Amino acid sequence: MMWTALARSLVASAAALPLLLAPSAQAQPEDPFCNAVLRECAKSGVVGAHRGQDTTITGIGINQTIDCKNSTLLVNGANNRITALGTCWAVTVQGNSNVVVADNVINDVTVYGFDQVVLYKNGSPAVWDRGRELGMTNRIDRVPA
């Protein structure tokens, strides 16, 4: 019985070895998707994909205007008032009583905490209100430009 199991494992190994050593036939990625109107390409297939350095604002009572530069804006703290000009890839807010007004959000708006306000003028981002999932009240809306 032991010799039968050993013989079977040797036969299986001998059959599998050529398959492991054969060159793989992996598909090569196609050229990046390009949008002639926006004059930009994105290998991820999403035109306007995240490109820059993220902007992180952490504190209490900060009043600031920033340029998103097609990156993610992260706001963490309390009672911050942030105006985001240009296009943001994403906006994430944590804490309480923060207000963020963005010109354009491409990918998503994620809000943790309570009494947060995120307003965006353009874009159709996915909205994820984690505070509301836990019974807290936040406001996330698209507003007229």
Q: What is the pLDDT of residue 36?
A: 46
DSSP labels for 88-129? EEEEEEEEES-EEEEEEEEEEEEE-SBS-EEEEEE---EEEE
Q: What is the pLDDT of residue 7?
A: 58
Q: What is the pLDDT of residue 133?
A: 85
Q: What is the pLDDT of residue 71?
A: 94
108 close to 126: Cβ distance less than 8 angstroms: yes
Backbone φ/ψ region at 68: left (φ over 0), alpha (ψ -120 to 50), beta: alpha
For every one of its 145 residues, what pLDDT tens digit does the chain have, with 9 covering 90 and above?
556 655 566 555 555 555 455 554 444 444 444 444 444 444 444 444 556 689 999 999 999 999 999 999 999 999 999 999 999 999 999 999 999 999 999 999 999 999 999 999 999 999 999 988 888 899 999 998 7
* pTM > 0.75: yes or no: no
